């Protein structure tokens, strides 16, 4: 045995310790052993309680709540919360940008040659099936937070917006290096009737021709490769990554998910799939309910992105409310007097003295007499254009049909999942809750976010179920997620925990300080890294501190009006509102301190980009500036004309 001199022993030990420390620091992190104790696996409040053992990123076992727990585990008290598989976003464009394909991939034509009568040999405009999202995916921590907060543990990062945009990747949403985020590197190919850039093709008929030509070229390329390998006569095949990538499509080894919202486009893709020989899926699907029978018969899955657009007002809302009130009034039993009760005699009314013609009653005004602001409102309404009732009813009906598409597909037995598209997980969950409010069974909605989504993306062994062997990617909820007030308390992704502070809906408790009133029109300014922006708040406050009103902002896209509501407690005003921008929802929240006629605080906006915070300051307009009549009286008192 080799022995070191005594004087070299300390240095050798230090060197070994340093090497071990460096190796430990460079090693991939491993999740801690966790036990989620006292959790429900079903919605019922009296459902049996269980304990989930999470080890090395997997669910090791599902135990009875009274079973002995493994030693050395971190035990989390579930307090009877509902445990569900983490949600799967089945189509999102987050984490990377889809590149524009290089259109011309052959030698440029000679300037001295005659005019070409056909398309160039390697025109690849809109064609890049070789692009892999897995090689470009990198979702920043602040970008992934909205998915985790809404209970999403995985998302399908998909290229979009090209005839053949490339291949999607299934990724987890935990904060990790890109290489540790990829669960499945190649899931679907993605297609659309779109192609960026100038030149051919740029029309729908051109897109069809380009796809047909490309699939014919791919078949010819495969034959040339086979002949070349066998030593048979024929030209040497060119190296073409796009044609090589098409092999898995024509062999139906990879499904092609095609973007289509209209029923007509869905039928176009069905015909192309039959003609070109690829396996089809639909993304978007706003009018998929119109062709539900075809989709069911051919077992074509749909990923609904729930892009409904702005909701048109219901032109029959007032009539429906009147009918509802009348029905409720009819249901109430008439108030009858008990038998034998005396009948009160009608008393003659005392005659009122007639007033003299010159005498004017305190609040008496002529029938056509109106305040100045009422006159202005009537005049403005008179000049506002309103579409015919039939047009408004048709718009409302089309919007409702698009919203209820998931319900119609569920009734027809068409497999579907949900995807956020250009939004994020929080917006997607909110829209799914809207679907449940309007009739979609909650079990069907949850399946489309969990088990059915996992099956669609080919991850049933990992996601979508709480059973031994599945990935430890799950969430603890305070209530069924389809309910508005349900919150995520814990989210585990690959066994790594994310804990969220549970608190009631952020609504301050208490009343306004004496003399504090948020009512009025406030001229405000918001300042952020993007610059300054003007805003106007018009608010009304009740004596209890409840505040409603509008927020009007001015920007590059013109004015935007947002309905806001909130509360005043002490001198603190909290306002919240939301609006739609490019088919995605943006929420805004103001928290300011009121000081007489000024306010100061912060405004937070959350959208697909994440969250931004701005400084807010503002002043309340004097009351006399709000009322035109009072303003004119003030000028008259001062002697101005």
Q: What is the 3-state secondary structure (H, E, C) of 585-615?
A: EEEEEEEEEEECCEEEEEEEEEECCEEEEEE
Handedness of CA 38, 153, 462, 410 (dihedral sign): positive
Give, as one character, the DSSP assignment of residue 421.
Answer: B
Contact 581, 605 (CB under 8 A): no
Nearest CA among 543, 522, 509 for reference residue 595? 522
Compute the distance between CA of residue 445 and CA of residue 423 in angstroms, rounded to an integer. Answer: 19
Whether the bond into 201 is cis, omega within 30 of 0: yes
Compute the distance between CA of residue 431 and CA of residue 561 in angstroms, rounded to an integer. Answer: 22
Compute the distance between CA of residue 576 and CA of residue 555 in angstroms, rounded to an integer. Answer: 20
Strand order in the sheet with 152-157: 87-92, 152-157, 169-172, 182-184
Handedness of CA 490, 491, 496, 501 (dihedral sign): negative
**Residue 140: predicted pLDDT:** 83
Q: H-helix or E-strand containing 58?
A: strand 58-64
Compute the distance between CA of residue 80 and CA of residue 73 in angstroms, rounded to an integer. Answer: 19
Nearest CA among 462, 466, 461, 463 for reference residue 477? 466
Give, as one character, the DSSP assignment of residue 27.
Answer: S
Contacts 24+ apart (CB under 8 A), 568-572: 568/512, 568/516, 568/518, 568/541, 568/594, 569/508, 569/509, 569/510, 569/511, 569/512, 569/545, 570/510, 570/512, 570/513, 570/516, 571/512, 571/513, 571/516, 571/595, 572/508
Please give the domain boundaries of the chain with CATH numbers for all domains. 520-628 (2.40.128.120)
| CA 123 to mean position of chain CA atoms | 36
Contact 120, 235 (CB under 8 A): no
Q: At what angle do helices 204-229 and 263-276 cross, to 10 degrees?
A: 20
Following CA atoms 445, 448, 451, 456 in sequence, which dihedral angle do they give, to the nearest 10 degrees? 170
Contact 551, 566 (CB under 8 A): no
Nearest CA among 86, 65, 90, 87 for reference residue 75? 65
Q: Would the pTM of this model clear 0.75, i.e. be above it?
A: no
Pairing label, strands 189-191, 256-260? parallel
Contact 475, 151 (CB under 8 A): yes
What does the radius of gyration of the chain's CA atoms come to, in whole angstroms? Answer: 33
For 537, phi then psi, to 5°, come to -105, 130
Compute the distance between CA of residue 169 and CA of residue 554 in angstroms, rounded to an integer. Answer: 39
Compute the distance between CA of residue 389 and CA of residue 475 in angstroms, rounded to an integer. Answer: 47
**Residue 320: predicted pLDDT:** 67
Compute the distance between CA of residue 229 and CA of residue 523 in angstroms, rounded to an integer. Answer: 76
Compute the distance between CA of residue 155 and CA of residue 88 in angstroms, rounded to an integer. Answer: 5
Give, as one character, the DSSP assignment of residue 175.
Answer: S
Give, as one character, the DSSP assignment of residue 136.
Answer: T
Question: Consecutive sets of 10 residues in the chain, 641 residues long: mean pLDDT of each?
Answer: 54 54 56 93 89 95 93 91 96 91 77 64 90 92 88 96 96 90 95 92 94 93 90 88 92 95 96 95 96 96 92 78 68 53 45 46 51 60 76 90 95 96 91 95 96 96 95 95 92 93 53 88 88 90 91 79 88 86 76 91 75 86 64 48 41
| CA 548 to mean position of chain CA atoms | 25
Which residue shows structure tokens 């928290």?
A: 591
> Rounded to 5 degrees, what angle do the CA atoms 483, 425, 441 make?
35
The two tokens of residue 127 are 């064609």
**Residue 591: predicted pLDDT:** 87
For 427, phi then psi, to 5°, come to -65, -40
Give, rounded to a whole angstrom, the gap between the first and last alpha carbons of the chain: 112
**Residue 22: predicted pLDDT:** 46
Pairing label, strands 488-493, 496-499? antiparallel
Q: Which residues contact 424 (CB under 8 A, 6 or more apart)?
A: 92, 94, 146, 147, 150, 584, 607, 608
């Amino acid at each position: 045995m080799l022995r070191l001199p005594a004087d070299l022993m300390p240095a050798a030990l230090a060197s070994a310790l340093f090497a071990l420390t460096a190796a430990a620091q460079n090693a991939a992190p491993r999740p801690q052993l966790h036990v989620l104790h006292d959790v429900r696996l079903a919605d019922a409040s009296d459902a049996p309680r269980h304990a989930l053992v999470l080890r090395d990123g997997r669910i090791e076992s599902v135990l009875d709540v009274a079973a002995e727990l493994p030693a050395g585990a971190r035990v989390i008290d579930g307090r009877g919360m509902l445990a569900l598989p983490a949600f799967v976003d089945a189509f999102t464009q987050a984490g990377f940008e889809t590149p524009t394909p290089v259109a011309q991939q052959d030698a440029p034509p000679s300037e001295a040659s005659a005019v070409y009568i056909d398309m160039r040999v390697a025109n690849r405009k809109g064609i890049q099936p070789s692009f892999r999202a897995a090689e470009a995916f990198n979702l920043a921590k602040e970008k992934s937070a909205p998915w985790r907060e809404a209970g999403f543990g995985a998302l399908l990062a998909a290229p979009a917006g090209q005839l053949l945009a490339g291949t999607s990747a299934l990724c987890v949403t935990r904060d990790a290096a890109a290489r540790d985020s990829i669960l499945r590197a190649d899931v679907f190919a993605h297609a659309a009737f779109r192609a960026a850039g100038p030149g051919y093709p740029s029309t729908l008929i051109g897109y069809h021709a380009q796809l047909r030509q490309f699939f014919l070229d791919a078949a010819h390329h495969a034959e040339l490769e086979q002949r070349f390998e066998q030593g048979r006569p024929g030209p040497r095949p060119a190296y073409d990554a796009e044609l090589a990538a098409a092999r898995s499509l024509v062999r139906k080894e990879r499904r092609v998910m095609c973007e289509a919202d209209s029923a007509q486009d869905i039928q176009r893709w069905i015909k192309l799939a039959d003609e070109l020989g690829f396996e089809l899926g639909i993304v978007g699907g706003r009018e998929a309910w119109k062709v539900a029978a075809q989709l069911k018969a051919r077992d074509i899955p749909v990923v609904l992105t729930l892009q409904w657009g702005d909701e048109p007002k219901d032109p029959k809302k007032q009539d429906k409310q009147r009918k509802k009130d009348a029905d409720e009034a009819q249901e109430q039993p008439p108030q009858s007097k008990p038998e034998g009760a005396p009948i009160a005699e009608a008393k003659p009314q005392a005659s009122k003295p007639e007033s003299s013609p010159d005498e004017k009653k305190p609040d008496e005004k002529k029938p056509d007499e109106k305040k100045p602001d009422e006159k202005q409102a009537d005049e403005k309404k008179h000049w506002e254009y309103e579409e015919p009732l039939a047009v408004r009813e048709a718009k409302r009906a089309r919007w409702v049909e698009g919203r209820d598409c998931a319900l119609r597909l569920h009734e027809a037995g068409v497999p579907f999942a949900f995807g956020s598209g250009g939004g994020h997980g929080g917006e997607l969950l909110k829209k799914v809750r809207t679907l449940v409010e309007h009739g979609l069974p909650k079990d069907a909605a949850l399946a489309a976010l969990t088990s059915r989504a996992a099956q669609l993306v080919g991850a049933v062994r990992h996601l979508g179920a709480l059973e031994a062997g599945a990935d430890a990617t799950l969430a603890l909820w305070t209530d069924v997620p389809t309910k508005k007030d349900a919150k995520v308390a814990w989210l585990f992704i690959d066994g790594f925990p994310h804990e969220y502070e549970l608190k009631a809906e952020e609504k301050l408790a208490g009343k306004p300080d004496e003399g504090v009133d948020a009512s009025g029109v406030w001229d405000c300014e918001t300042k952020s890294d993007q610059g300054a922006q003007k805003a106007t708040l018009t608010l009304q406050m009740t004596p209890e501190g409840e505040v409603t009103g509008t927020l009007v902002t001015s920007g590059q896209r013109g004015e935007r009006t947002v309905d806001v509501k909130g509360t005043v407690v002490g001198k603190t005003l909290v306002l919240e509102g939301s609006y739609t921008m490019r088919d995605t929802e943006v929420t805004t929240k103001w928290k300011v301190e009121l000081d007489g006629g000024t306010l100061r605080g912060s405004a937070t906006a959350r959208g697909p980009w994440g969250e931004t915070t701005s400084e807010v300051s503002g002043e309340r307009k004097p009351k006399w500036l709000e009322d035109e009549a009072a303003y004119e009286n003030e000028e008259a008192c001062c002697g101005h004309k």
